[in-house]
Structure 1
Amino acid sequence: MIRSKRQLMSFALMLVLVVPILAACGGDATPTTAPATTVPATATTDSAAAATAEPTAAATETDATVEPTAEAEATAEPTAGTTTGEGPGTDPEKTIIIGMTQSPDTLFGIESQSSATTQVLSAIQPACFTTLDYEYQPVCFTKLPSFEDGDAVTQTVSVDSSYEGNIVINDELITDTASLTEAMDMEQVVVTWTLIDGLTWEDGTPITAADFVFAAELYQDPGIKNASRFVLDRTQKYEAKDEKTLVWYAAPGYTDATYFLNTFGPEPKHVLEGEDPATIGGSDYASKPLAYGPYKIAENTPQESTKLVANETYWKKGYPIIGNVTFKYLTSEDQVLQQLESGEIDVVGSIGLTLANAPKLDELEAAGTLKGQYVPATVWEHMDFGVERNDGQPSIFADVKLRQAVAYAVNRKQIIDNVLFGKTVVMNTFLPADHWAYPPNGEGLEAYEYDVEKAKALLAEAGWTAGADGILEKDGSKLTIQFFTTENNQTREAVAQLIQEDLKAVGIDVQLNFVPATDVLFKNGAEGILAGRRFDLGLYAWVSGPEPSTALYLCDQIPTEENSYGGQNNTGWCNPEYDAAALASQAETDRAKRIPLVIEAQKVFNAELPTFPLYQRVNVGAYNVKVSGLDLNPTSQVDFWNIETWDVTK
């Protein structure tokens, strides 16, 4: 579920200290949104998203969170802390059934890495922040704190060898201050949130700041199976100043661009206090957690269904509109399509449909049975160039002209039209064109529109000439490159074959290698294709989110033996000019000052082209024509973020 900074985005942020971990990209269907990451990113195939996470390699195509992934609100009811007025009221006779091809692993959100859990819990314990349309919106709080408004401040604290707690010096986490030889004055960020009025648990108990402090303590407890404690390791303390005021004290020396999201919870202190944290995940509570959202759990049958009823204590008066919601867990996309057509289910989101289903969905929409939604999201497919290989083989793509030639030679529009049913758009940097940090109108970026003659001219400038068989040669070697991507993925296979044909047309011989994702392509260490930098071209996906994905291409993110192959800059490209702009942007908390820095980083990236962005993947949804309100959003890992406003015609 998405309730904390650890669980906020799919699609995910890019901060210099956060290192994403690759996840498998198998599957045989056209991809939808992939999971975004936690802090640091986790290597799950369907993880909850984090607001401070970097992008992670996209997981299996049937996995769809978000989170990169990935969305302004089009419904009448915003997700922010206040409503526009009292709703129309709940109709207990109205019911909708949501189909999904995954079921939750647990409903105790702290310990779940399942996107199915995230979707279900969004109706029960909704996110305290949403990430719609590459922006952030408060839900449990009156506003996002800011330095401008004074609810985020920086104070000076003195730290010496007697200081108890972690500190951060030059981005390095220091867990033992005993070695400090003298006292240091350090800057400390302090952030204050104010809870909205009316938040209560389903049993009527008010939600207070103490529930958020309790949640942070649970997340930190070693008995909890929590994927990451990144923020907590950089926290001095959380404090409930009063019932409605929560305060976070950062570890001295630590700051980040999304300080305003550094909360955890809430969790019901009055229910869970005194329980052994290590046992909560296996308790009855984990299958029927206490609600504070529009719905509460009436019945939960693992692997089969979760039945919800309207929560009469929900703080948005007059909502939800529909009295009953059932999440029904199905076994395949074929079953989803059959039950959509027959009316046995009413709504399906990204956990149940992929772009491969578009022809059938379009057919059913033309027949008046349902309506489909296709939203270009934050998961982006791309080709990494082996700019600096690590296996002793020649780094063919060390020459930027050769990288640019490949870009001009690949017909991305044809790929989108022929393989992706024309449902998405190309990308030219690591950000989509509707991101707040994208250069206005793409100014300063090369679009790399399909141009065979320009590709051939660049190849000639690089010293390559055609041999007798039409394949380019230089210094006695043919221009033969090794291209790697995931096996058992029909979409990737089709894309790879089109790229192979395009490059052959300009004299480049492409040898296609379809390999296992986890065990080969994304394997960690020197033997991994990507981490070991043993490739010329590598096709896979990243998922990001509201925060710019600048950290991916930093010099210190190149995977090496020295960093235990933990970096994600699989290209081996290192550019000090890029690093300067990217690092400055990550340290800047003022967005107006950040944007020019991110744009500069994009311009360097776009010109140097260590990676060739291809296209945005697509979030897919469908709903019965009697249902209204489904609004897939590119940067929300929750398909059903506005479920309380949905309605259905009886």
Structure 2
Amino acid sequence: MLSACAMNSSSEKEPQSGSNQKSTANVKSTDSKSYRANNISALPAKSKARKDTFIAGISAPGGVFLPYFYENGWDGNATDPIFAPLVNLDKDGKPVGILAEKWDVSSDQLTYTFHLRKGLKFSDGSPLTADDVAFTLTLLHDPAYSGGQDISLASIKGGKAYKEGKAKSIDGIKVLDKDTIKITTDKVNAKSLLLLGGQVLSKSYYGKDYQYGKLDYLKNLYPKPLGAGPYKFEKYVPGQEIRYTANENYYSGAPKTKHLIFKIIDKSTSLQLFETGELDYAGFSADDDTVEQLKSLGFANIQVSPVNDYGLVYVNNTHPQFKDKAVRQALIYGLDRQKIVDVKFKGYGQVANIPVSPVSWAYDDKGINPYEYNSKKAKELLDGAGWKKGKNGIREKEGKPFVIHYLTADAEDPFIPIAKENYQDIGIKFEPEIMDFNALVSKLNKKDYDFAAVSTSQILDPSDTVEELAANNPNNAAGYSNPKVDDLIQKGLSTLDIEKRKSIYHELYKELNEDPPYIFLNYRQSARAVSGKVEGLNPDNYTGISASLPNISITK
């Protein structure tokens, strides 16, 4: 399945997947291996018959097909083929121009000038100009905007005044001509280039009914997206598929493959669908059995590699029983996370302890407490925090029993039996609830939960996963608050010097290790399988398959 790859926010999460089998491998999460197809003639008949259509698997889209406004990261995947950004990331995480031919940054790193490619058009043939870029950035500053993109991080000059109704336009946004826009910011931010250079919305389409402070009209356009990406939206059949057709107005020409389908699948059937030729691409949790099964097909190109995300269990810091950091520490010590990772990934993963993946340049776990399973330590911390065992063996404080309600979208989640046993041992009652993923996201955003299991979206920058932990961030689903963390989050964004940022993030990781906002669970590997008839598809850890879509071709 695709993995959500939009800019991260607390609402852009993925469900975790699991298994109940024991570990049979010892593969580090940083290892990578690839296997080439050796028998293309073994392609299933369904696949051979499909000459101009590429089909990939996707899970649980919510139907909000508008960048910046969706809550479900799978909708981010669904919008990527439709909407193109000014700037994207290459396979190494370095910025590359898409709709922007080039950009200039002033010597003080406060002013960005984007030079758009000549003759850009949206898929309906209407021109795409700097006015559309200005409209997009203005929309994100509207007081009624409540999506996951925190444009305030870019600190555009006059942006705050516009949002507060003190100005009728944003002073720092200047359209120089139809192909050039200059944006002036008030402070340096390492993410400004991507924040300012995001996906562009059509002013004539999305802005024709725009009124300051009133954005509800956009909901009528969620199912009717119009963009400037390589593909045009064609049809959405809830629970089944999303269909696209090649955009003849794409800046580099129509994609080589005319039709694109994102087939909505369940992880339990994705391997079968790939084997029978109903999918041309799918991703799986890596394990020996799956890799060997894919290799045995003969027609699959396989890549086993680390994924640039991490799994976690959100802890609601606003609930009384979780406000004490000693309690949160106890909940980590009292949980056999290694066992969970072994059962879930069968050797193709490792326990996580910091909010960034080993793929990132910011990863550094030196001096980090690994919180190895220690029920005795957990009991001591709970005793010290005033949670004493009652007559029924469940801990109580001020007459209230310690109960954890756990939300997950995975019916086979191995966290459930292990946590239930571990937490019972230390005197905590554990009550799991399995629900639809979109319902889980809704509860998470409303802070209507104790524990909730998710995975981050693909991590584009180390700040992506920590910004939401700032006390004043509206996407702080954990309800976490730590002034030192707030300060370090800002410092990490205040310089473009990677070495300085590394040092700041390492200090931040130590603080989050001492005062954990939630339970870090795992890093993982995935097995990505591509039909041998498909050329030009190169999934990466920053854009998934979206960057490859214009170049995919199907051999006859």
- TM-score (normalised: structure 2): 0.69
> Does 1:306 pair with 2:237?
no
Match of 2:416 in 1: 496
Please say if residues 405 and 459 of structure 1, whose CA atoms lie closer than 8 Å, have aligned partners that are also in contact. yes
Change (3 A) 1:129 1:456: same
> Does 1:541 pair with 2:541?
no
**1:272-421 superposed matches below 5 A:** 272=205, 275-276=208-209, 287=224, 289=226, 291=228, 293-296=229-232, 300=235, 306-309=243-246, 311=248, 314-316=250-252, 320=255, 322-327=256-261, 329-330=263-264, 332-333=266-267, 336-348=270-282, 355=285, 363-371=293-301, 375-382=306-313, 384=315, 390=320, 398=324, 400=326, 407-408=332-333, 410-421=335-346
Q: CA deviation at 1:606?
A: 1.5
> Does 1:259 pair with 2:259?
no
Match of 2:509 in 1: 602
Please say if residues 412 and 426 of structure 1, whose CA atoms lie closer than 8 Å, have aligned partners that are also in contact. yes
Identity of aligned residues (%): 18
Secondary structure at 1:641's aligned position in 2?
A: helix
Match of 1:213 in 2: 134
Q: Distance in 2 between matches of 1:380 and 1:106?
A: 24
Please say if residues 380 and 541 of structure 1, whose CA atoms lie closer than 8 Å, have aligned partners that are also in contact. yes
Render the CA deviation track for 1:347-368: whole Å, top value 9, x for unaligned. Answer: 246xxxx649996675344333
Q: CA deviation at 1:419?
A: 2.2
Secondary structure at 1:490's aligned position in 2?
A: coil
Amino acid at match of 1:259: S
Secondary structure at 1:642's aligned position in 2?
A: helix
* 466, 469, 490: which one aligns with 1:550: 466
Please say if residues 310 and 323 of structure 1, whose CA atoms lie closer than 8 Å, have aligned partners that are also in contact. no
Amino acid at match of 2:313: H
Q: Distance in 1 between matches of 2:519 and 2:146?
A: 37
Secondary structure at 1:213's aligned position in 2?
A: helix
Q: Distance in 1 between matches of 2:151 and 2:361?
A: 26
Q: CA deviation at 1:510?
A: 3.2
Render the CA deviation track for 1:169-201: whole Å, top value 9, x for unaligned. Answer: xxxxxxxxxxxxxxxxxxxxx332222456455
Match of 1:639 in 2: 545
Amino acid at match of 1:616: Y
Q: Distance in 2 between matches of 1:503 and 1:222?
A: 44
Q: Distance in 2 between matches of 1:631 and 1:194?
A: 28
Q: Distance in 2 between matches of 1:108 and 1:463?
A: 46
> Does 1:126 pair with 2:77?
no
Please say if residues 492 and 504 of structure 2, whose CA atoms lie closer than 8 Å, have aligned partners that are also in contact. yes
Secondary structure at 1:414's aligned position in 2?
A: helix
Render the CA deviation track for 1:22-61: whole Å, top value 9, x for unaligned. Answer: xxxxxxxxx984x57xxxxxxxxxxxx44xx644473555
Please say if residues 382 and 614 of structure 1, whose CA atoms lie closer than 8 Å, have aligned partners that are also in contact. yes
Q: Distance in 2 between matches of 1:287 and 1:268?
A: 13
**1:130-149 superposed matches below 5 A:** 130-131=88-89, 136-143=95-102, 145-148=104-107
Secondary structure at 2:421's aligned position in 1?
A: helix
Please say if residues 111 and 281 of structure 1, whose CA atoms lie closer than 8 Å, have aligned partners that are also in contact. no
Amino acid at match of 1:366: S
**1:573-584 superposed matches below 5 A:** 574=482, 576-584=483-491
Amino acid at match of 2:245: L
Change (3 A) 1:142 1:515: same
Q: Distance in 1 between matches of 2:385 and 2:121?
A: 70
Q: Distance in 2 between matches of 1:622 and 1:343?
A: 12
Q: CA deviation at 1:246?
A: 0.9
Change (3 A) 1:366 1:569: same
Change (3 A) 1:383 1:259: closer
Change (3 A) 1:126 1:618: farther
Q: Distance in 1 between matches of 2:129 and 2:409?
A: 49
**1:443-458 superposed matches below 5 A:** 443-450=366-373, 455=377
* 595, 602, 612: which one aligns with 2:519: 612
Change (3 A) 1:358 1:631: farther
**1:126-205 superposed matches below 5 A:** 126-131=84-89, 136-143=95-102, 145-148=104-107, 152-153=109-110, 190-196=111-117, 199-201=120-122
Q: Distance in 2 between matches of 1:498 and 1:273?
A: 48
**1:518-533 superposed matches below 5 A:** 522=444, 524=446, 528-530=448-450
Change (3 A) 1:426 1:634: farther
Q: CA deviation at 1:105?
A: 3.3
Render the CA deviation track for 1:395-417: whole Å, top value 9, x for unaligned. Answer: 7x8474x7556545543332122
- Higher radius of gyration, 1 or 2: 1
Match of 1:9 in 2: none
Q: Can you give the 5+ residue segments of structure 1 that lack an aligned partner in the other structure?
A: 1-30, 37-48, 63-70, 75-91, 154-189, 531-537, 558-564
Render the CA deviation track for 1:117-159: whole Å, top value 9, x for unaligned. Answer: 54354334333332455554432224565454x6x43xxxxxx
Which range moved further: 325-334 or 427-436? 325-334
Amino acid at match of 1:363: Q
Q: Distance in 2 between matches of 1:228 and 1:467?
A: 44
Amino acid at match of 2:257: G
Q: Distance in 1 between matches of 2:230 and 2:366?
A: 44
Number of aligned positions between the proteins: 496
Q: CA deviation at 1:512?
A: 1.0
Q: Can you give the 5+ residue segments of structure 2 that lack an aligned partner in the other structure?
A: 18-29, 34-49, 161-169, 211-215
Please say if residues 383 and 540 of structure 1, whose CA atoms lie closer than 8 Å, have aligned partners that are also in contact. yes
Q: CA deviation at 1:499?
A: 3.2
Match of 1:161 in 2: none
Change (3 A) 1:477 1:647: same
Please say if residues 554 and 569 of structure 1, whose CA atoms lie closer than 8 Å, have aligned partners that are also in contact. no
Amino acid at match of 2:510: K
Q: Distance in 2 between matches of 1:336 and 1:567?
A: 33
Secondary structure at 1:602's aligned position in 2?
A: helix
Change (3 A) 1:379 1:491: farther
Q: Distance in 2 between matches of 1:550 and 1:258?
A: 13
